[in-house]
């Protein structure tokens, strides 16, 4: 029988850090910490595979697992000397989730479980602290009521606020034992009124309810959203950890905190974190109280008055520091740690690899190489390739004027400007409409995950550097300012007050997540600096990657950006983009509307010098590197107007009659242009178009070669080929123009002619097509459309539910569909190289910048990937990671 429940603590551990798939990240690391002798409260972990069994059983824990839980709970009782449900000395437990990868705040937690009207008295007597006992009981009722019973947490929070107002205090620590006992009675009444039944008093009923709720939260909306955004399979499931409680709310000698062994925003080698005296962990993480700084240096830097842990608890702080060093050395990575101090004794509740910004990830990886903790190859694997996107875009110009309206904590670095919105649904709605928004909340909760993803930045009035908003924003790469205490939000009028200034929803603000500034309006930006740690990591990545990385670009500016980012050529230059230039669109339209070859030739003669200039500028920027130029691809009607005013403008510009314009446009109309008269079909029916483009390419290449002496390597690509004969005909046109230009100029250049593989038939007949091609470039955008029968422009309406229901593991237009489209690519590569060994193979669709798709290209042995300029560094790093993982 498969083991499903694992014990840890008391000098033993049934597991270790390598078993995350089985025990989840939290359970595996609790076992590991217990195994290396750190003070970990004893507990048990219910394995991840039980999650699926729970759902298969209709939301019920299998009987054998329930029995194993009770046996393990007896082990915890033996270690602690307390008994679960005992009236005199009760064992209380926490019930927490633990997926194999960190999902901060996305699933449910219940603390202080085991309290009831009897055990609360025993806890008060055993601890000698009645206030602590009643405080723990009211916290338990609130969490259990929210998480397990499904009551609105605001019901309890409102009651707490009323109790504080009645007492005349602002913090819950100002309530005494009698106040908290009265609050418990109010909470009990809330539960019974809402549910029609009393709060459960049986500790075992409480336990099964909490375990079920944690498993149930795996399929909550917020957890599903987080998994979708982070490519986490639903089939993984979550573990559940049941652990003996230790209490940070016992009084002034107790505390709770969250810490990182290095700064997760900057990567600086300095302890970073927050703590609260006389509190429990949720107070810090949820931002319910604004916490205090961990170190004296951080407190002084922030200008805060409240004592740091280093000052208030120097002995425990020193022990905590030794634990930080031990854990970072043991795991060889920056750690995110949760701890509790119970009456002066330190307990470790969690450690995991800390979420960090891309900037921090770079610095930590590079620094750890210098410190001898990890190798260069490990450093390359440590930085998430997609996260580099955070570093490749402009930041706020330090010289730009700033109208600062508020200040908070610099919770997640970066800068963002956008219009203010006050709820996540509005943020998502406006973002879908193309509007940049800043999500402003009193504090965020896990239910805000979709709004945080939609927003360019997040601003909260409450919460610290380790609050939910801060942790999630850093993981997403969103700038975040938290704990901006000077702002107050009025959801009725949908405005916020910033020190007397009224900001309405829709007003524009700017956040600087690096220093905590909130500014009115939009602030100017500067280009990023890509030297230092970034440069070092890219050098290491280039050492280890095999795949070349090119760019998709058709303007000199984009080409320069791509070269700056390390592009090794152009994998896709779309010539049609050049035709839309206002200076030449009239000649293009005259060519399209011409009714005979002579008319088209005259218009093409006007376009030839323009195209030659376009290509020459690109060849100059990319001198010495290959440049793949795609011949005209879209259907001709895309260059024509579709309304009366447009018809008249074209007639006036071209000198044709409006009736002729209307007639020709009508003749060019297509019901399904994506599968119509486009690509090589244009080159077959109007060979003079491809002849003009080929001549422009070769004349430009010769010109730049003569100017610079640098090698210019044009790669002419014929699109939408389905048959070998199509490529044979169009290649003959291209070769003829090359021969003519070389004869006219007395200069001969190396060049290649190849094709895009973007139709299933082309993939299937790749051997025949390879006889006429010197390279294949897989156009996976169209290959995905034609293979799946899905329009990329319309797919957003239904692909979300398709991914959620497991029909596709990911959006196939973001990550390549390996089972379908991928098999065609594999087949075409095999058959193409079988017919022509050494055939150059690349990919130039959007998938060329997707790390998962790049790993697939590495597995197939393609020669290069091509992506947009700003994704070139991402592709370089992803290619190196794919090569290292394959080795």
pLDDT at 473: 78
Concatenating the DSSP letter of every residue in 99-153 gives ESS--TTTS-EEEEET--TTHHHHHHHHHT-HHHHHHHHHHHHHHHHHHTS---H
Q: Does the structure show a pLDDT above 90 at 420?
A: yes
Q: Which residues of 834-848 are buried (b: 16+ CB within 10 A; e: fewer)?
A: eebeebbbbbbbbbb
Lowest average pLDDT, out of 149-163, 518-532, 722-736, 835-849, goes to: 518-532
Task: Report the relative pairing of strands 292-293 and 395-396 from DSSP bridges.
Answer: unpaired
Q: Does the structure show a pLDDT above 90 at 797?
A: no
Contact indicator for 537, 382 with CB cutoff of 8 Å: no
Q: Does the structure show a pLDDT above 90 at 409?
A: no
In the three-class reduction of DSSP (H, G, I as helix; E, B as strand; rest coil), residue 296 is classed as helix
Q: Does the structure show a pLDDT above 70 at 393?
A: no
Those residues whose C-beta lies under 8 Å from the C-beta of residue 756, and which sit 6 or more positions away, are: 630, 717, 718, 719, 720, 721, 776, 777, 778, 779, 782, 844
DSSP 545: -
Those residues whose C-beta lies under 8 Å from the C-beta of residue 496, and which sit 6 or more positions away, are: 420, 422, 440, 487, 488, 489, 490, 502, 503
* CA within 13 Å, CB half, 396: 25
Task: Report the relative pairing of strands 437-441 and 415-421 from DSSP bridges.
Answer: parallel
Per residue in 280-333, pLDDT tens? 877 766 656 778 999 999 999 989 999 999 999 999 999 999 999 999 999 999
Contact indicator for 461, 488 with CB cutoff of 8 Å: yes
Helical packing angle, 585-593 and 597-621, nearest 10°? 140
Distance CA 28, CA 23 (A): 5
Q: Over pLDDT 90: what percentage of the chain?
A: 68
Per residue in 242-278, pLDDT tens? 999 999 988 899 999 999 999 998 899 999 999 999 8
pLDDT, averaged across the chain = 91
pLDDT at 479: 87
The active-site residue out of 468, 637, 772, 847 is 468
In the three-class reduction of DSSP (H, G, I as helix; E, B as strand; rest coil), residue 449 is classed as helix
Contact indicator for 640, 648 with CB cutoff of 8 Å: no
Q: Other C-beta atoms within 10 Å of 720: how many?
A: 24
- Across the range 88-94, mean pLDDT stands at 96
Per residue in 65-86, pLDDT tens? 999 999 999 999 999 999 999 9
Lowest average pLDDT, out of 4-8, 221-225, 542-546, goes to: 221-225
Those residues whose C-beta lies under 8 Å from the C-beta of residue 579, and which sit 6 or more positions away, are: 585, 588, 607, 632, 639
Q: Which residues of 194-206 are buried (b: 16+ CB within 10 A; e: fewer)?
A: eeeeebbeebeeb
Q: Quickly state the pLDDT bin for 466 (edges 50, 70, 90).
A: low
468 is catalytic: yes
Q: Does the structure show a pLDDT above 70 at 551?
A: yes
Distance CA 841, CA 742 (A): 27
Contact indicator for 257, 291 with CB cutoff of 8 Å: yes
Lowest average pLDDT, out of 193-197, 439-443, 739-743, goes to: 439-443
Q: Which helix (H) or strand (E) holds 256?
A: strand 255-260
Q: Quickly state the pLDDT bin for 429 (edges 50, 70, 90).
A: very high
> Can you read off the two tokens belonging to residue 25?
């990240």
Q: Other C-beta atoms within 10 Å of 382: how many?
A: 22
Q: Quickly state the pLDDT bin for 134 (edges 50, 70, 90).
A: very high
Alpha-carbon dihedral sign for residues 804, 807, 809, 812: negative
> Can you read off the two tokens belonging to residue 179?
């106040």
Alpha-carbon dihedral sign for residues 872, 878, 881, 882: negative
Q: Which residues pair with 458 in a beta bridge?
A: 439, 480
Per residue in 328-381, pLDDT tens? 999 999 999 999 999 999 999 999 999 888 889 999 999 999 999 999 999 999
In the three-class reduction of DSSP (H, G, I as helix; E, B as strand; rest coil), residue 686 is classed as coil
The active-site residue out of 573, 844, 857, 867 is 844
Q: Other C-beta atoms within 10 Å of 581: how many?
A: 11
Q: Which of residues 88 and 669 earns the better pLDDT score?
A: 88
Distance CA 405, CA 95 (A): 42
Which one, of 209, 215, 162, lies nearest residue 187 by Cα?
Answer: 162
Q: Does the structure show a pLDDT above 80 at 98?
A: yes
Which one, of 600, 595, 589, 676, lies nearest residue 634 by Cα?
Answer: 676
Residues comprising the chain, all counted: 887
- Across the range 510-524, mean pLDDT stands at 90
Per residue in 231-241, pLDDT tens? 888 889 999 99
Q: Does the structure show a pLDDT above 90 at 469?
A: no
Per residue in 665-677, pLDDT tens? 787 787 887 888 8
pLDDT at 698: 97
Per residue in 582-596, pLDDT tens? 677 778 888 888 778
Those residues whose C-beta lies under 8 Å from the C-beta of residue 879, and which sit 6 or more positions away, are: 541, 545, 546, 547, 549, 854, 858, 865
DSSP 555: S
- Across the range 117-143, mean pLDDT stands at 95
Q: What are phi and psi of 518, to 5 degrees?
A: -120, 125
In the three-class reduction of DSSP (H, G, I as helix; E, B as strand; rest coil), residue 292 is classed as strand
Those residues whose C-beta lies under 8 Å from the C-beta of residue 449, and which sit 6 or more positions away, are: 106, 222, 225, 226, 229, 424, 472
> Can you read off the two tokens belonging to residue 13?
């551990």
* Three-state SS annotation for 303-339: CCCCCCHHHHCHHHHHHHHHHHHHHHHHHCCCEEEEE
Distances (CA, A) of 415 to 105, 380, 468, 524, 760: 24, 26, 19, 10, 44
Q: Which helix (H) or strand (E) holds 276?
A: strand 272-277
Q: Does the structure show a pLDDT above 70 at 52?
A: yes
Distance CA 709, CA 98 (A): 61
Residue bearing tokens 């020190």? 499
Lowest average pLDDT, out of 8-12, 396-400, 406-410, 637-641, goes to: 637-641
């Amino acid at each position: 029988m498969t083991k499903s429940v694992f014990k840890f603590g008391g000098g033993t551990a049934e597991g270790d850090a390598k078993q995350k798939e089985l025990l989840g990240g939290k359970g595996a690391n609790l076992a590991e910490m217990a195994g290396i002798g750190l003070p970990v409260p004893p507990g048990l972990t219910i394995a991840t595979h039980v999650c699926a069994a729970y759902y298969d059983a209709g939301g019920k824990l299998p009987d054998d697992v329930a029995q194993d839980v009770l046996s393990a709970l007896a082990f915890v009782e033996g270690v602690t000397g307390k008994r679960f449900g005992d009236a005199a000395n009760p064992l209380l437990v926490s019930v927490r989730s633990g997926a194999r990868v960190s999902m901060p705040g996305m699933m449910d937690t219940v603390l202080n479980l085991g309290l009831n009207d009897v055990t609360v008295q025993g806890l008060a007597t055993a601890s000698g602290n009645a206030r602590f006992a009643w405080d723990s009981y009211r916290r338990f009722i609130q969490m259990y009521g929210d998480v397990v019973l499904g009551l609105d947490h605001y019901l309890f929070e409102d009651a707490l606020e009323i109790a504080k107002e009645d007492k005349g205090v602002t913090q819950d620590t100002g309530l005494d034992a009698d106040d908290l006992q009265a609050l418990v009675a109010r909470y009990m009444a809330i539960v019974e009124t809402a549910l029609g039944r009393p709060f459960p008093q049986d500790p075992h009923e409480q336990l099964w309810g909490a375990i079920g709720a944690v498993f149930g939260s795996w399929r909550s909306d917020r957890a599903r959203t987080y998994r979708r955004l982070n490519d986490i399979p639903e089939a993984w499931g979550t573990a559940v950890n049941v652990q003996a409680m230790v209490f940070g709310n016992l009084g002034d000698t107790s505390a709770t905190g969250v810490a990182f062994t290095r700064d997760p925003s900057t990567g600086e080698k300095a302890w970073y974190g927050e703590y609260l005296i006389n509190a429990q962990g949720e107070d810090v993480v949820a931002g319910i109280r604004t916490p205090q700084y961990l170190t004296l240096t951080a407190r002084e830097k922030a200008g805060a008055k409240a004592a740091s842990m280093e000052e208030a608890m120097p002995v425990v702080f020193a022990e905590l520091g030794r634990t930080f060093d031990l854990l970072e050395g043991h795991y060889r990575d920056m750690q995110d740690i949760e701890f509790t101090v119970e009456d002066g004794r330190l307990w470790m509740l969690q450690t995991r690899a800390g979420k960090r910004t891309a900037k921090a990830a770079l610095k930590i990886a590079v620094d750890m190489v210098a410190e001898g903790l990890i190798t260069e190859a490990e450093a390359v694997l440590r930085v998430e390739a997609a996260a580099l996107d955070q570093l490749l875009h402009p930041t706020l110009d330090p010289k730009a004027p700033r109208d600062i309206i508020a200040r908070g904590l610099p919770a997640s670095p970066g800068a963002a400007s956008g219009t203010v919105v006050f709820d996540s649904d509005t943020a998502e709605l406006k973002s879908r409409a193309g509007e940049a928004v800043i999500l402003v909340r009193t504090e965020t909760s896990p239910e805000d995950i979709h709004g945080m993803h939609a927003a360019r930045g997040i601003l909260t009035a409450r919460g610290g550097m380790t609050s939910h908003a801060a942790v999630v924003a850093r993981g997403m790469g969103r700038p975040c300012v938290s704990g901006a205490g000077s702002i107050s939000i009025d959801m009725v009028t949908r405005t916020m007050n910033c020190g007397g200034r009224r900001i309405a929803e829709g007003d524009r603000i700017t956040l600087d997540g690096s220093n905590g500034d909130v500014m009115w309006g939009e602030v100017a930006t500067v280009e990023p600096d890509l030297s230092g740690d970034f440069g070092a990591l890219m050098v290491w990545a280039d050492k280890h990657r095999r795949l070349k990385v090119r760019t998709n670009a058709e303007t000199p500016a984009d080409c320069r950006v791509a070269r700056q980012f390390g592009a090794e050529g152009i994998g896709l230059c779309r010539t049609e983009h050049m035709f839309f230039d206002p200076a030449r669109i009239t000649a293009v339209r005259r060519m399209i509307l011409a009714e005979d070859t002579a008319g088209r030739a005259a218009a093409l003669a006007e376009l030839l010098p323009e195209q030659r200039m376009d290509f020459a500028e690109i060849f100059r920027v990319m001198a010495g590197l290959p440049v793949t130029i795609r011949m005209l691809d879209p259907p001709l009607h895309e260059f024509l107007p579709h309304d009366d005013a447009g018809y008249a403008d074209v007639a006036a510009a071209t000198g044709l009659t409006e009736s002729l314009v209307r007639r020709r446009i009508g003749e060019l109309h297509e019901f399904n242009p994506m599968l119509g008269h486009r690509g090589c079909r244009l080159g077959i029916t109007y060979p003079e178009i491809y002849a003009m483009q080929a001549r422009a390419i070769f004349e430009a290449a010769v010109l730049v070669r003569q100017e610079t002496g640098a090698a210019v390597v044009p790669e002419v690509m014929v699109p939408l080929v389905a048959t070998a004969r199509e490529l044979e005909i169009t290649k003959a046109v291209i070769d003829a123009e090359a021969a003519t230009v070389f004869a006219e100029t007395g200069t001969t250049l190396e060049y290649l002619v190849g094709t895009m593989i973007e139709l299933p038939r082309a993939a299937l007949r790749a051997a025949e097509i390879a006889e006429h091609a010197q390279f294949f470039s897989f156009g996976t955008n169209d290959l995905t459309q034609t293979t799946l029968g899905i329009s990329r422009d319309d797919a957003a309406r239904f692909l979300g539910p398709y991914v959620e229901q497991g029909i596709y593991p990911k959006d196939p237009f973001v990550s390549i569909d390996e089972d379908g489209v991928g098999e065609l690519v594999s087949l075409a590569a095999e058959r193409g190289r079988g017919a022509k060994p050494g055939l150059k193979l690349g990919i130039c669709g959007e998938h060329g910048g997707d790390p998962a798709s790049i790993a697939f290209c590495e597995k197939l042995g393609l020669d290069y990937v091509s992506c947009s300029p700003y994704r070139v560094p991402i592709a370089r790093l992803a290619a190196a990671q794919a090569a290292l993982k394959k080795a």
